[in-house]
Amino acid sequence: MKRTTQLCLLFMTLATVTFADDPITRSPQLPATMPWDLDELSKPPEFAWQDIKSSVRSLSYAGEPYQGKPTRVFAYYASPGTLNANILLDRNLPAVVLVHGGGGTAFREWAELWAKRGYAAIAMDLAGYRPHEGVNQHQRENRTRLEEGGPDQGDDEKFGSVDKDPAEQWPYHAVANVIRAHSLIRSFASVDSNRTAVTGISWGGYLTCIVSGVDSRFKAAVPVYGCGFLHENSAWLDRFGRMTAEQRERWVTLWDPSRYLPAVSMPILFVNGTNDFAYPLDSYMKSIAAVPGEKQFCITVKMPHGHPAGWAPPEIGLFIDSHLQGGQPLATVDSLRITDGKAQTTYQSEVPITKAELHFTTDTKPINQREWQSTPATISSEVINADAPPADTTAWFFTLTDSRGAVSSSTVQLVVLADPK
């Protein structure tokens, strides 16, 4: 009992010592309409441990005021030391901030997954809830609404509040609370504040696109599914269709990632499937093009959509490892071209490439409803070759698989149709 108490006290000491946080450097590419106070969000928020004995700890931290009242945000925290009941293992750790999507919460298993990879990990709830322990946290009924919770994350909170003050809308709180979680984990004495990353799934990928443009302190970012240009094509066109032109412009100006992606300064990996129901490839490719700096892609045919499916791809961990832990990077794939009846691209990879494929579709249905065909491609001297896709192809791209099983892709070449319907 005495040793357990000592370990708990040691954990609290190591994990709560804070230092003056580096302010977020405001990119000149950020729009003047950006509503967040970056100096304030740079500071570690007040927080309190709720569980310091489990392998995955829990805590709550101060969020942004909502409807004139203070708010609290629930989060899980895990590290190699918490998993092994030996906090002395936690020294100079890289850290990752985990952002859930619609219908999600702070997922204990997600934080645990990253701690097993050697990271300090924080996964927060962005809907004002606390998940129950020992049950399926993917089910909404297994959560308790916090008395001091901020706005929920339904479509009404995302879109129906567009006429309110920005600080009374869900995207404002969600982005702020992700950045607050980052400031908090960077303040832990066991964390190397210069080695942090963010990854999010679905609406969490949407938030990651915004946060990576707003919070310049991250060293890597991985949005999964989520992207910008939602007003041009997404699962929410009906919501935009019910807005007035002024409301739509206000929402896009404040909350669409297309306004923030040009400010992304850290390496970023985009992960999505060809047929995602929410974030279609046309909006996705525009989002990728909006990033001016280092970017990589992992587009796969018919990737399933969901939280476990969204954190499962090994490419996410390998990409972040390469930027935070000196791991071998994913392959990079260059622009596509058709030459003498051949589809070609070049690539660079430190890891041997074992497989290459050309993927194409001749469908003219909406982009996320098309059927895809895949054919083998040949690999030689950093050049990928395949027979050119048919003349009536409407979209095509290459994927490369390395000896670790990690997939990298080119961007998707989309043919603009005269009648997209």
pLDDT per residue over 245-272, tens digit each? 999 999 999 999 999 999 999 999 999 9
pLDDT tops 70 at residue 391: yes
Consecutive H or E run containing 40? helix 38-41
Q: Compute the average pLDDT of residues 211-231.
A: 98
Residue 16 pLDDT class (50, 70, 90 cuts): low
* E strand segments, 52-146: 57-62, 72-78, 93-99, 120-124, 129-131, 143-145
Q: What is the pLDDT of residue 419?
A: 52
Residue 6 pLDDT class (50, 70, 90 cuts): very low
Domain ranges for the chain, please list them.
2-329, 333-414
CA-to-CA distance for 101 and 219, rounded, in angstroms? 22
Q: What is the pLDDT of residue 415?
A: 87
Provide the whole-model pTM: 0.94
CA-to-CA distance for 332 and 326, rounded, in angstroms? 17
Best CA proximity match to 210, nearest among 41, 62, 59, 61:
41
% of the chain exceeding 70 in pLDDT: 94
What tokens appear for 358 in the block?
């050309």
Number of H helices, E strands in the chain: 12, 21
CATH number of 2-329: 3.40.50.1820
Q: CATH: 2.60.40, 3.40.50, 1.10.287, 1.10.10. Which one for 333-414?
A: 2.60.40
Angle at 111 between CA 107 and CA 112, to 5 degrees: 110
pLDDT per residue over 85-137, tens digit each? 998 889 999 999 999 999 999 999 999 999 999 999 999 999 999 998 877 87
Is the pLDDT higher at 143 or at 215? 215
Q: Are 265 and 319 spatial neighbours (Cβ–Cβ below 8 Å)?
A: no
pLDDT tops 90 at residue 20: no
Residue 416 pLDDT class (50, 70, 90 cuts): confident
Q: What is the pLDDT of residue 4?
A: 46
Torsion 321-323-324-328 (CA) sign: positive
pLDDT per residue over 27-61, tens digit each? 999 999 999 999 999 999 999 999 999 999 999 99
CA-to-CA distance for 389 and 370, rounded, in angstroms? 15
pLDDT tops 50 at residue 243: yes
